[in-house]
């Protein structure tokens, strides 16, 4: 059981320097052979230092590379134990929170060129092969990634690929869509390690694929919360036990308020500020009125003439929606869902998972479990520089890392009187290494320039250490 510690009291989303980060994130890994626990932390630290490099390039010597490959291929190592430790460390960072968002989504990894890799399955068609994975990302209410509750990784079976009618006859426990309930359970399993004195509410956030009756029923019956985008105009029941169409019923309600949102530029559409009308109502999924849930309509009623697809969201939620402020809170929770899109991009492109050359799907799963924690660290850096810009960069960089970064940017080494740069300053400098120009109009570096910059920083730090010694 995890208890409140001074570290989590000081900073909820503590981005530790690499020498402490791997110790913290993988502290709860309990392999029978203690040497595997030590090796896990060393491999994770090396991969986090150079997230875009191949495994041989990330490790300094051939002996270390060989040890990393042996670890990933060891039959005593499994991704579930690695991810369990990641989930427990995530729970430890949630100790001081009242509410945590569990944002879920699915993606895939293609290894069509890995002809000798065993255990893979079809991705987009029978001629492609790879793995699917479903992520449960822990995020604070203000939109800062905390960690991972879990990742489920699997290979589809070729003999069942494309048989949708066959799959519909199965109970949900045997369907691939059960991944959403697996993600819910992963969050609950992680949070249960927190002291029972502290109750943390989990709000599960998902897109339209998550709009499944069994998922909504599970959340409502458990007392958890949810914000899930509706995928279909369901038949539901109002408070008088009258069967109604959900979308028509909520649209008949008077608007509670309005919400302004910035819409980025799209093809043939200019950047604009959209005015959204907010409506809500209370509904029931069953005629016995036991499964209560709210529906929110977010509608751009008067869009510009050149806008082809006005904004329209229907959100199922267990949260209070009796006022405009309450609805805006729910809408903001759903807006945080885009973080998982950025996370998957970081994991796949930033950490270059699909370039792994391993012999089996089990080895790939073990590597993904480690890189999954590394990708969270990269995403945290990009978000914390916006949320906590004035915090010292020693929360994310080791001393020789920020000194090497300072030296390459300022063309001179720091001295004893040089103040420690802030997270914002360090992020801007890392972004410059990754190609971010850094003009005022450019804003802060994005995810891509951040991971490219971290790769460059790894090389610069190694040179700095050699020259200093």
Strand-pair category, 235-237 with 145-154: unpaired
Structure confidence at residue 296 (pLDDT) = 97
Mean pLDDT of the chain: 88
Structure confidence at residue 3 (pLDDT) = 44
Alpha-carbon dihedral sign for residues 332, 342, 207, 146 = negative
Structure confidence at residue 159 (pLDDT) = 67
Mind listing the pLDDT tens digit for each residue in 173-214? 888 899 999 999 999 999 888 766 678 899 999 999 999 999
Structure confidence at residue 164 (pLDDT) = 57
| Mean pLDDT computed over 83-90 | 94
Which helix (DSSP H) or strand (DSSP E) does residue 292 occupy?
strand 292-299
Q: Residue 105 in contact with residue 336, Cβ under 8 Å? A: no
CA–CA gap between residue 270 and residue 303 (Å, rounded): 12
Helix axes 399-410, 447-468, angle to 10 degrees: 100
Band (pLDDT 50/70/90 cuts) for residue 168 is low
CATH number attached to the domain at 389-468: 1.10.740.10
The Cα-based distances of 76 to 37, 84, 107, 422 in angstroms read 11, 15, 27, 42
CA–CA gap between residue 51 and residue 58 (Å, rounded): 8
CA–CA gap between residue 71 and residue 58 (Å, rounded): 15
Structure confidence at residue 305 (pLDDT) = 80
CA 20-427-138 angle, 5° bins: 60
Mind listing the pLDDT tens digit for each residue in 437-458? 877 767 778 778 887 888 788 8
Please say if the pLDDT value at position 12 is more than 50.
no
Which helix (DSSP H) or strand (DSSP E) does residue 103 occupy?
strand 99-110
Mind listing the pLDDT tens digit for each residue in 356-365? 989 999 999 9
Residue 89: phi, psi to the nearest 5? -65, -35
Mind listing the pLDDT tens digit for each residue in 381-400? 888 777 778 888 887 788 88
Q: Which residue has the tokens 């509608």?
A: 299
Please say if the pLDDT value at position 290 is more than 50.
yes
Mind listing the pLDDT tens digit for each residue in 315-349? 999 999 999 999 999 999 999 999 999 999 999 98
DSSP letters for 274-288 = EEEEEEEEEEESSTT
Percentage of the chain modeled with pLDDT above 90: 54
Mind listing the pLDDT tens digit for each residue in 115-144? 889 999 998 877 789 999 999 999 999 898
CATH 3.40.1160.10 for domain 210-331, yes or no, is no
Which helix (DSSP H) or strand (DSSP E) does residue 108 occupy?
strand 99-110
Domain ranges within the chain, ordered by starting residue: 210-331, 389-468
The torsion angle over the Cα atoms of residues 189, 194, 195 and 201, rounded to 10 degrees, is -80
- The rounded radius of gyration (Å) of the Cα atoms in the chain is 24
CA–CA gap between residue 212 and residue 95 (Å, rounded): 30
Same fold, 210-331 and 389-468: no
Structure confidence at residue 197 (pLDDT) = 62
Scanning 275-398, the segments in alpha helix (DSSP H) are: 324-335, 338-345, 361-387
Structure confidence at residue 136 (pLDDT) = 97
Please say if the pLDDT value at position 249 is more than 90.
yes
Please say if the pLDDT value at position 292 is more than 90.
yes
Band (pLDDT 50/70/90 cuts) for residue 266 is confident
Band (pLDDT 50/70/90 cuts) for residue 13 is very low
Structure confidence at residue 169 (pLDDT) = 67
Q: Give the E-state strand segments of 155-254 in sequence order.
A: 201-206, 225-229, 235-237, 243-245
């Amino acid at each position: 059981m995890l208890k409140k510690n001074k570290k989590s009291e000081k900073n909820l989303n503590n981005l530790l320097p690499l020498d402490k980060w791997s110790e913290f994130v993988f502290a709860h890994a309990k392999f029978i052979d203690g040497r595997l626990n030590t090796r896990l932390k060393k491999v994770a630290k090396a991969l986090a230092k150079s997230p875009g490099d191949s495994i041989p390039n990330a490790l300094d010597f051939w002996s270390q590379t060989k040890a990393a490959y042996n670890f990933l291929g060891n039959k005593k190592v499994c991704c579930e134990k690695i991810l369990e430790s990641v989930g427990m460390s995530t729970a430890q960072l949630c100790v001081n929170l009242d509410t945590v968002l569990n944002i879920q989504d699915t993606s895939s990894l293609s290894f069509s060129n890995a002809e000798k890799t065993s255990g893979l399955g079809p991705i987009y068609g029978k001629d492609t092969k790879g793995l699917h994975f479903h992520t449960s990302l822990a995020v604070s209410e203000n939109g800062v990634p905390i960690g991972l509750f879990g990742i489920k990784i699997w290979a589809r079976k070729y003999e069942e690929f494309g048989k949708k009618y066959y799959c519909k006859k199965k109970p949900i426990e045997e369907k691939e869509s059960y991944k959403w309930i697996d993600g819910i359970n992963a969050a609950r399993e992680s949070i249960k390690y927190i002291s029972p004195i502290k109750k943390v509410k989990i709000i599960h956030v998902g897109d339209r694929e998550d709009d499944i009756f069994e998922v909504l029923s599970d959340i409502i019956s458990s007392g958890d919360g949810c914000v899930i985008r509706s995928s279909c105009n369901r038949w539901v029941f109002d408070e008088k036990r009258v069967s109604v169409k959900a979308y028509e019923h909520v649209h008949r309600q008077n608007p509670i308020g309005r919400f302004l949102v910035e819409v980025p530029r799209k093809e043939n559409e200019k950047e604009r500020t959209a005015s959204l009308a907010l409506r809500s109502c209370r509904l029931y999924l069953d005629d016995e009125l036991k499964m209560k849930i709210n529906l929110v309509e977010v509608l751009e009623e008067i869009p510009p003439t050149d806008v082809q697809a006005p904004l329209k969201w229907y959100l199922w939620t267990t949260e209070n929606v009796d006022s405009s402020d309450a609805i805006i809170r729910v809408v903001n929770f759903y807006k945080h869902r885009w973080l998982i899109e950025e996370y998957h991009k970081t994991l796949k492109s930033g950490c270059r998972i699909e370039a792994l050359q391993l012999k089996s799907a089990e080895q790939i799963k073990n590597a993904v479990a480690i890189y999954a924690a590394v990708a969270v660290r990269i995403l945290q850096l990009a978000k914390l520089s916006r949320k906590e810009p004035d915090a010292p960069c020693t929360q994310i960089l080791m001393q020789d890392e920020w000194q090497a970064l300072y030296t390459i940017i300022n063309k001179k080494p720091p001295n004893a009187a040089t103040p420690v740069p802030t997270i914002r300053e360090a992020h801007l400098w890392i972004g410059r290494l990754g190609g971010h120009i850094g003009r005022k109009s450019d804003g802060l570096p994005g995810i891509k320039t951040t991971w490219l910059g971290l790769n460059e920083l790894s090389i610069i730090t190694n040179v700095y250490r050699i020259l200093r010694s």
